[in-house]
Amino acid sequence: MVVVAILAAGRGTRMKSNLPKVLHSVGGKSLVERVIQSVEPLQPERRIAIIGYQAEQVKTALQAIPDLEFVEQTVQLGTGHAIQQLLPHLEGYEGDLLILNGDVPLLRGETLKNFLQIHQENQNAATVLTAKLPNPQGYGRVFCDDHNVLQQIVEDKDCTAAQKENQRINAGVYCFRWQDLAKILPHLQANNAQKEYYLTDAVTQVAPVMAVDVADYQEIGGINDRLQLSDAYDILQVRIKQKWMKAGVTLIDSASITIDETVELEPDVIIEPQTHLRGNTVIKTGSHIGPGSLIENSLIGENVTAKYSVISDSVVQNGSRIGPYAHLRGHAEVGENCRIGNFVELKNTKLGNNTNAAHLSYLGDTITGTKVNIGAGTVTANYDGVKKHQTIIGDRTKTGSNSVLVAPITLGNDVYVAAGSTITENVPDNSLVIARQRQVVKEGWEMKKE
């Protein structure tokens, strides 16, 4: 039986921010959300966030998480003081308490599960997650005897020069037998450099205590400043990219690519350099994205290519070719085997299969049939200054270069629009429409000028 407490009351002075530290986000999720997510595999009986600094803001940010409880620590007198606030809420509770810092966002669920298991199998009063760090600066140092029995945790600020040499650190993850911890919590002292009640002092007042090293020390990185925030992002990115490469995705120059963890990729997708995949994007097998593309919240079918293009909130069906330099946004939907080329923008537009818009066009609020050809420079004039209007283009219709289609307007099937036309009225099936001045040639005009 385990209850989880997450320490999230501190301000995070070293972030130099108005936003509470635990609400800073890394890879699209706040630090504290990530911590909460990491305990999911444990199926804890209760999850309690201890909040204090800008408590309302933290609460609001987390209100969508079901059954998350909040306990307020109105003044922040240290991590031990934070856990003291649980006393009235856990009266009579007989199980274990897993404590996590709200600013340690990279822990894997598996790691916590193993940690809890070790604590329970050994019937420890307390178990502390530790790591040997190449650069232990800023962390509490953990001192054990020859049998790995924890003797003392000394905060960085309280360390002597010799103690600072110790690279074994406290990760800020603890499991306590609650009944044992509850007995000593009221007796913590604040006689240290920061005049705080340290939770780390409680560890040495119960027995038996065990220190358990984490296998991958990157998991326990605490975020105290913006540099560590940036490092955490990089670590998350490496994890995500390794996962997709193992699943059959090719990443070329992977360091230049970013992928949100919400993205789904199929085997045999190829991602070229400088490409960024965001939000709820799905890319199906055989597609080749990049170089230089941004795809967000979009569904990309099989065997699609997209070079130097931006695709947001849109769908591209199988076999279509996008770019270079195309922009799809606002629920654009491109059918199968289409070609959307250089400097073409599609907004809230649905193109039927085998339709091409290869150069220099804007199609907004448009629906086309199949096998349509949008000539270079075709523009839908969809906005009258107040409202947006729709353009409908039938099957096999071809617009000439530099046509303007003034919406609302419907072009039928098999319509030809002459180059340079401004079309303001509907055109029936099987027609040629010309809407421009006839060319006038005045011969000998140059001579007459004099």
Q: How far apart are CA 323 and CA 342, in angstroms?
A: 6
Binders in 183-212 for ligand UD1, by CB under 6 A = 198-200
Q: Residue 103 or residue 365: which is nearer to Ca ion going by CB?
A: 103
Q: Residue 178 or residue 198: which is nearer to ligand UD1 going by CB?
A: 198
**Residue 393 binds ligand UD1 (CB under 6 A):** no
Q: Cβ of residue 96: shortest distance to ligand UD1, in angstroms? A: 18
**Residue 77 binds ligand UD1 (CB under 6 A):** yes
147 included as an active-site residue: no
Q: Cβ of residue 219: shortest distance to ligand UD1, in angstroms? A: 12
Binding residue count for ligand UD1, defined by CB under 6 A: 31
**The binder of ligand UD1 chosen from 172, 335, 352, 412 (CB under 6 A):** 172
Q: Residue 195 or residue 246: which is nearer to ligand UD1 going by CB?
A: 195
Q: How far apart are CA 340 and CA 354, in angstroms?
A: 11
Q: How far is CA 365 from CA 338, 387, 390, in A?
A: 18, 11, 5
CA dihedral 102, 280, 240, 306 (to 10 degrees): -150
Residues 6+ apart with CB under 8 A from 230: none
**Residue 85 binds ligand UD1 (CB under 6 A):** no
Q: Cβ of residue 247: shortest distance to Ca ion, in angstroms? A: 34
- One-letter amino acid at 319 equals G
- One-letter amino acid at 83 equals I
Among 143-151, 169-177, 258-266, 343-351, the segment contacting ligand UD1 (CB under 6 A)? 169-177
Q: What angle do CA 237, 243, 245 make, to 5 degrees?
A: 100
Are residues 158 and 192 in contact, defined by beta-carbon separation less than 8 angstroms? yes
Binders in 16-35 for ligand UD1, by CB under 6 A = 22
Q: Cβ of residue 275: shortest distance to ligand UD1, in angstroms? A: 34
CA atoms within 13 A on the CB side of 308: 7
Are residues 277 and 271 in contact, defined by beta-carbon separation less than 8 angstroms? yes
Distance of CA 398 to the CA centre of its chain: 41
**Residue 98 binds ligand UD1 (CB under 6 A):** no
Q: How, if at all, do strands 379-381 and 404-406 pair?
A: parallel
Q: Residue 78 or residue 377: which is nearer to Ca ion going by CB?
A: 78
Binders in 296-325 for ligand UD1, by CB under 6 A = none
Q: How far apart are CA 163 and CA 160, in angstroms?
A: 5
Query: Of these residues, 288, 331, 359, 389, which one is catalytic?
Result: 359
- Going by C-alpha positions, the residue among 351, 318, 319 that lies closest to residue 332 is 351
Among 142-150, 214-222, 249-257, 354-362, the segment contacting Ca ion (CB under 5 A)? 214-222
**Residue 50 binds ligand UD1 (CB under 6 A):** yes
Residue nearest to Ca ion (CB): 222
Q: How far is CA 370 from CA 307, 335, 349, 362, in A?
A: 23, 8, 13, 18
**The binder of Ca ion chosen from 80, 140, 222, 369 (CB under 5 A):** 222
SS3 406: strand
The residues that touch Ca ion, with contacts defined as CB under 5 A, are 103, 222, 224
Residue numbers at the binding site for ligand UD1 (CB under 6 A): 7-10, 22, 50, 52, 73, 76-79, 81-82, 101-104, 139-140, 153, 155, 169-172, 198-200, 222, 224
